[in-house]
Structure 1
Amino acid sequence: MKYCTTLLLLLSLTTPAWATERTLGWGDLMPQLSEIRAQLGIAETDPPQPLDWQQVQTLLVQELDGQQIRLPGFIVPLSHDDTRVTEFLLVPTYGACIHMPPPPPNQLLHVHYPDGIEVQDLQQAVWIYGQIHTEGEDKSGFDAGYRLDARAVELYQP
């Protein structure tokens, strides 16, 4: 009994990694209107004006920088080590980078995953776990707004 109590106490003191991660959807990578106005230097008191949609698509949610997240998406391989993909783009829909134009920068993540993943089917969605950064990279002609240092990748289960 004493050992069970000690074990339960130890388990209650540790926080599993998944419990600290924030689950995001693709809409969470786009700034809200107030943040868009702030990033574009438009004061709340300024009269309404049309926004440059191409410029808005490059704006990122700065508060996400450094957070541990999980996000579902599809893999577009960039580099591999034998049969394992170690660097890839994560996109919201299958085939998003195959057909032009590619997703806008705030809907494109450049993922570094040193452990690599065997990709059997590019049509299979995955969950990506890791630390997101708001410093994107222009890789292979795709301007990714975000970078993600992945610690785990698993097949998508809703």
Structure 2
Amino acid sequence: MPLRRLASWFVIVAAAAVCGVRPRPVPQKLEATLAALPVDTTDAGDEVADEVITIDWRLLSTLDVRTGAPGDSLRKLVGRRVRVPGFIVPLEDFQDRAKEFLLVPYFGACVHLPPPPPNQLVYVKMRGTTPLSWWAPVWVEGVLRVITVKSIYGSAGFQMDGERITLYKERG
């Protein structure tokens, strides 16, 4: 089993080396495959709940990894609905559907040692099982919490109650 895991991550690292680690446009074929992502089930009458704040990894990095204290700007977003870009790292081999996964800032982030620091890992727990794309960049929306969650790939400094996943597209 460890040999199988090593082989699968070797393929991912090789693909990252060939393709680079920046988010790239999603191929049309993959976009069609992932078109059936979960819909947001938030109560439409609640205007505050409908507000989704887009954040980036620079803001998440303001979490002090020694003390676990969030920076001032980050503290204001804890418990709110946010949207974060990144790549999915399944917590089991060869998953195409999952309820739990890690969100990382760049492709292949958890396949090397040491893993990224806790302020660069978000443990996501979706409301239901969702299709996963661990080759393409995505936006993950949900309620952000500052909670340490340990996994086989490292300790995440954040937990997100995931509500929706959409394919990443650059603004332009």
With CA pairs under 8 Å and 6+ residues apart, which has the higher RCO, 1 or 2?
2
| Local SS of the residue matching 2:106 | coil
Larger strand share, 1 or 2: 1
Question: 1:108 is matched with which residue: 121, 134, 142?
Answer: 121
Larger radius of gyration: 1
| Local SS of the residue matching 1:101 | coil
Q: Tell me the number of residue pairs that the alignment of Structure 1 and Structure 2 aligns.
A: 122
Instruction: Pick closer, same or farther for the CA change 1:131–1:14 going to 2, 3 Å.
Output: closer
Instruction: Pick closer, same or farther for the CA change 1:127–1:141 going to 2, 3 Å.
Output: closer
> 1:79 Cα shift?
5.0
- Provide the residue aligned with 2:157 in structure 1: 145
Question: 2:131 is matched with which residue: 118, 131, 138?
Answer: 118
- Provide the residue aligned with 2:62 in structure 1: 31
Q: Percent identity?
A: 34
Q: Which runs of 5+ in 1 are unaligned?
A: 1-12, 37-53
Q: Residues 56-95 of structure 1: matches in 2 within 5 Å?
A: 59-60=69-70, 61-79=74-92, 83-95=96-108
The one-character-per-residue Cα deviations of 1:33-76 (angstroms, maximum 9, x if unpaired) are xxx6xxxxxxxxxxxxxxxxx737x5534333201100000000
Instruction: Pick closer, same or farther for the CA change 1:115–1:148 going to 2, 3 Å.
Output: same
- Does the 8 A contact of 2:121 with 2:156 survive in 1? yes
* TM-score (normalised: structure 1): 0.66
> 1:116 Cα shift?
2.5
**Alignment partners' CA distance in 2, 1:125 and 1:98:** 16
- Provide the residue aligned with 2:66 in structure 1: 55
Q: Which runs of 5+ in 2 are unaligned?
A: 1-44
* TM-score (normalised: structure 2): 0.61
- Does the 8 A contact of 2:110 with 2:153 survive in 1? no
| Local SS of the residue matching 1:123 | coil
Cα RMSD (Å): 2.7
Ranges of 4+ aligned residues in structure 1 off by more than 2 Å:
13-18, 58-64, 114-117
